[in-house]
A and B are shown apart, each in its own frame.
With several copies, the nearest count.
Chain A
Amino acid sequence: MKLVYFSWVRERVGKTQEDIAPPTGVMTVADLIGWLAARGEEYAYAFENPKIIRAAIDRTHVPPETAIAGAREIAFFPPMTGG
């Protein structure tokens, strides 16, 4: 599946997108954040405070307990500040 990052999550991870294949135990958005945070310093920094990370699956906002099975594109970003 494809991951995309925005704002300071993108800056900390150091890339705008990547393709990943998480292990089968990674079922939810929260699991995925935990798995990513363990991938290296840049990810640990980006996801150091999971409570403020927002996620979207296939361009729809989702809460952390959402299952990721079947997702094509998962986005991570901080709280939005548009308008």
Chain B
Amino acid sequence: MTVRLQREDFDAGREAALLTHGRTDIGAVVTFTGICRGREAAGEIAAMTLEHYPGMAEAEIARHVEEAKSRWPLLGVTVIHRYGRLVPGDNIVLVVTTSAHRDAAFAAAEFLMDYLKTKAPFWKLEERAGETRWVEAKQSDGAAADRWRGKGRNEAAE
């Protein structure tokens, strides 16, 4: 398991290759890359600054990676979340999951993204023409995260 918080960009292909190199037990690799968009519901944005809770963010993400590993038969997980100021087109977050089969890799990647959107201690500040605004949490993200509650191994994505 790799969990990293960093200002620097990441390379999704390289991170996936680090998980698969030299192995013959992995049948499925899923990568999710979240990217800063130039247009949100409230209009064009010029930039976005990601604040996080150092110390808590890394530990919390690691705990959820462990939960994903207990729910699905994963062979590897990498989560990288950037912080600091990003402009449209910049990478924000990467989740890579590997497993023998695709269902576990897909479900775990979605579970981790739903978690990162709603429970990981990060906050987005958008900059648009002359003003800044903290992004409000979306109800749809809360609903997406809630769908995993109380579901057991291998049945959460059904």
Contacts and interface: CB of A to CB of B under 8 A. Distances in A.
A6 B136 contact: no
B121 A81 contact: no
Contacts of B59: 59
Contacts, number: 73
Given A8-B134, A56-B121, A82 B56 contact: no
Contact of B51 (A6, A75, A83): A6
Interface residues of B, number: 29
Given A56-B121, A82-B116, A83-B117, A77 B53 contact: yes
Interface in A1-17: 4, 6-8
Interface residues of A, number: 16
Residue among B93, B117, B123, B124 with the highest chain A CB neighbour number at 10 A? B123
Contacts of A80: 117-123, 137
Nearest to B83: A82
B81 A82 contact: yes
Given A80-B137, A82-B123, 12 more contacts: A6-B53, A7-B51, A7-B125, A56-B56, A59-B56, A61-B119, A75-B121, A80-B118, A81-B122, A82-B120, A83-B92, A83-B118
Interface of B: 34, 50-53, 55-57, 59-60, 81, 92-93, 113, 116-125, 134-137, 141
10 contacts: A56-B53, A77-B53, A77-B121, A78-B137, A81-B117, A81-B134, A81-B135, A82-B120, A82-B124, A83-B117
